[in-house]
């Protein structure tokens, strides 16, 4: 009989500024609870405090610290998770005062990412983020090794252990950055190969657990399925698949890492090269999670990350996923707040075809539908046509071949100049 390891009992602490929207605070705490459960913890109690300003030394006041310590003892909790990012000094101060392991939001998310990474690049990116987080938090834990006293046989090391550890981490960080740079160079080559094939690209993005991977599997039912699970950050590594579009052509869809509020800076830095794939897409398919409240907050978080990536002006199709869980009234309210939203269910397939038609409309702004007419004496131009455009249909009319194309405006002009082919706009 397999023994189940008991979950780690955790006390959550939400710290908010006075005057901040309570609904936003509740959503943040609920998100923290789900993150804790995803990391393998069991939430024993939730405490909150509203402050005019955060305490520089301990984030919260002394009275609340005593209350948290009391809750830890009463719940027999081992860990306290704060819904804010703590400075190294604040973390040390809180651990000494509360007598439990203190974890901030960044450390919690890093822990989840470490469990979810599956590819070599993902593992390196996570380790880089973890070490970048850890470096400024090296404290006096090595103090016992750094005592330098006089006398034969009692002299301490010539270098304090904490300084050695810091140098070791810095060296490892540089090694990781170099390894990631090499992998990024390989990805550039792969991207150039993909771009050499005339096919539009769509980046699937959105909040974590919105159903992006399930939607990709729905679009490509016959391909190798992307891993999908009802968990926060179930997948970290981008997955690219080719899907057929309503006009008969094809588009490349890439599933990206999910976003979350207060996404840690080390993670954005570590995953920047991966996320920059988003900025190269012809269209963004922004997937919203219809099963949870706060879609406006989800959109704000995604907008902020896109702004940092310089992709905020790319054309976007908004789709509310998990529409099978929404009532008619809920759909009406969401449509009223944004008439451009469409509704779909990656699980049942409802609305997916309508969503693809929206994507097709956006792609058509850059990928034009054109026809070329070739007579028998010009079929040697076919290789050039297939290199420059996506042939979505062919038809023989007497001794002529008519090709129906999806082609960018630039390639269309180049084709006409190079081949002097007959065309039909």
In DSSP notation, 351-392 reads THHHHHHHHHHHHTTTEEEEEEEEEGGGGGGHHHHHHHSEEE
Residue 291 burial class via C-beta count within 10 angstroms: exposed 0-12, middle 13-18, buried 19 and up? middle
CA distance 418 to 381: 9
364 vs 126, higher pLDDT: 364
Q: How confident is the model at residue 269 (pLDDT cuts 50, 70, 90)?
A: low
CA dihedral 36, 42, 44, 49 (to 10 degrees): 0
Q: How far does CA 216 lie from the centroid of its chain?
A: 15
pLDDT digits (tens, 9 = 90+) for 182-228: 887 877 776 666 666 678 999 998 888 888 888 998 998 766 555 55
CA distance 423 to 425: 6
> What local confidence, expressed as pLDDT, does residue 156 receive?
47
CA distance 139 to 127: 20
State mean pLDDT over 217-246: 70
Q: 46-55, 156-165, 324-333: which range is least confident on average?
A: 156-165
pLDDT digits (tens, 9 = 90+) for 378-418: 767 788 888 888 888 888 887 788 888 888 888 888 877 76
User: Is the pLDDT score of 44 beyond 90?
Assistant: yes
Domains (ranges, CATH) in the chain?
8-103 (3.40.50.11060), 198-363 (3.40.50.300), 367-424 (3.30.70)
Residue 3 burial class via C-beta count within 10 angstroms: exposed 0-12, middle 13-18, buried 19 and up? exposed
> What local confidence, expressed as pLDDT, does residue 418 receive?
67
Q: Is the dihedral of CA 263, 266, 271, 277 positive or negative?
A: positive
Q: What is the rounded radius of gyration, in angstroms, for the C-alpha atoms of the chain?
A: 27
CA distance 320 to 312: 19
CA distance 16 to 49: 6
Q: What percent of the chain has pLDDT over 90?
A: 26
pLDDT digits (tens, 9 = 90+) for 299-350: 888 888 888 878 888 999 999 999 999 998 989 988 888 888 999 999 999 9
CA distance 68 to 80: 8
Summary mean pLDDT of the chain: 81
Q: How confident is the model at residue 271 (pLDDT cuts 50, 70, 90)?
A: low
Alpha helices (H) along 39-160: 62-75, 88-98, 105-116, 120-134
User: Is the pLDDT score of 157 beyond 80?
Assistant: no
> What local confidence, expressed as pLDDT, does residue 236 receive?
57
């Amino acid at each position: 009989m397999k023994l189940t390891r008991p979950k780690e009992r955790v006390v959550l602490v939400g710290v908010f500024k006075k005057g901040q929207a309570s609904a936003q605070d509740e959503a943040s705490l609920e998100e923290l609870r789900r993150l804790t459960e995803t990391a393998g913890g069991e939430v024993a109690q939730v405490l909150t405090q509203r402050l005019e300003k955060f305490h520089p030394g301990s984030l919260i006041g002394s009275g609340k610290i005593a209350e948290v310590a009391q809750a830890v003892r009463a719940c027999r909790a081992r860990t306290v998770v704060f819904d804010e990012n703590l400075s190294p000094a604040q973390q040390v101060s809180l651990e000494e005062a509360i007598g439990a392991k203190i974890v901030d939001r960044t450390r919690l998310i890093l822990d989840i990412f470490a469990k979810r990474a599956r590819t070599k690049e993902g593992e390196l990116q996570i380790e880089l983020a973890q070490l970048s987080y850890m470096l400024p938090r090296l404290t006096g834990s090595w103090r016992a090794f750094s005592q330098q006293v006089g006398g034969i046989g009692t002299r301490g090391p010539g270098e304090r252990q904490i300084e050695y550890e810091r140098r070791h981490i810095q060296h490892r960080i540089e090694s990781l950055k170099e390894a990631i740079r090499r992998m990024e160079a390989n990805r550039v080559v792969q991207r150039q190969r993909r771009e050499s094939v005339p096919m539009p690209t769509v980046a699937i993005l959105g909040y974590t657990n919105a159903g992006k991977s399930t939607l990709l599997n729905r679009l490509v039912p016959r391909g190798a399925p992307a891993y999908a699970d009802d968990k926060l950050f179930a997948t970290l590594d981008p997955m690219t698949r080719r899907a057929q579009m309503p006009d008969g052509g094809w588009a490349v869809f890439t599933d990206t890492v999910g976003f979350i509020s207060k996404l840690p800076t080390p993670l954005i830095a570590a995953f920047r090269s991966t996320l920059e794939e988003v900025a190269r897409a012809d269209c963004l398919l922004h997937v919203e999670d219809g099963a949870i409240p706060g879609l406006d907050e989800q959109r704000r978080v995604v907008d902020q990350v896109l702004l940092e990536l310089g992709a905020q002006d790319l054309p976007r199709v908004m789709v509310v996923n998990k529409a099978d869980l929404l009532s008619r009234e809920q759909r009406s309210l969401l449509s009223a707040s944004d008439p451009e939203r469409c509704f779909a269910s990656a699980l049942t397939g409802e609305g997916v075809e309508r969503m693809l038609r929206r994507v097709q409309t956006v792609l058509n702004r850059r990928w034009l539908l054109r026809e070329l007419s070739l007579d028998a004496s010009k079929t040697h131009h076919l290789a050039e046509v297939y290199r420059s455009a996506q042939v979505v249909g062919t038809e023989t009319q007497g001794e002529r071949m008519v090709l129906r194309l999806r082609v960018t405006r630039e390639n269309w002009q180049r084709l006409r100049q190079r081949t002097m082919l007959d065309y039909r706009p």
